[in-house]
Structure 1
Amino acid sequence: MKSLLSSRPVLWFLFLFNLAVAAVAPFVVDGSQGVMTAVGMGVVSLGAGVSLVRGRRAGA
């Protein structure tokens, strides 16, 4: 499972999908639930983005 989650296509999907959900969630879901959804999805997106950057540096 770890090798699947650390593959580049999966990391790109996690990064882009969670970033899009984080941007849209406060407008779709009202109140604090929308804000917390955006924060949670943003954290996952940042984690995937950091993994992408680390992988690019290690591969170069």
Structure 2
Amino acid sequence: MKKLLSSRPALWFLFLFYLSPSPCHGPLRHRGLQGVMTAAGTGVVSLGAGVSLVRDRGGNAATR
């Protein structure tokens, strides 16, 4: 499972899929603290995938 989730297509999917709803999903769908936490959670997933994409960009170039 780790190999699948760390593949570049999966990271791009997580980054783009969770980046798009993070600023507006929480406040529009849920009110109050639940909306803030939903937006923060999707933002954290998106940022984590984005950081992994940037971090692995230079290291895996020779092995592809």
TM-score bin, normalised by smaller chain:
0.7 to 0.9
Could you say which residue in structure 1 is the equivalent of 2:58?
A: 57
> Larger helix proportion, structure 1 or 2?
1
Which is greater in Rg? 2
Count of matched residue positions in the alignment of Structure 1 and Structure 2:
60
- Counterpart CA distance in 1 for 2:10 and 2:17 is 10
CA distance in 2, matches of 1:38, 1:18: 10
Q: Specify the alignment match of 2:32 in structure 1.
A: 31
Matched residues in 1 for 2:43 and 2:50: separation? 10
Question: TM-score scaled by structure 2?
Answer: 0.82
Moved over 3 A (4+): none
Unaligned runs of 5+ in 2: none
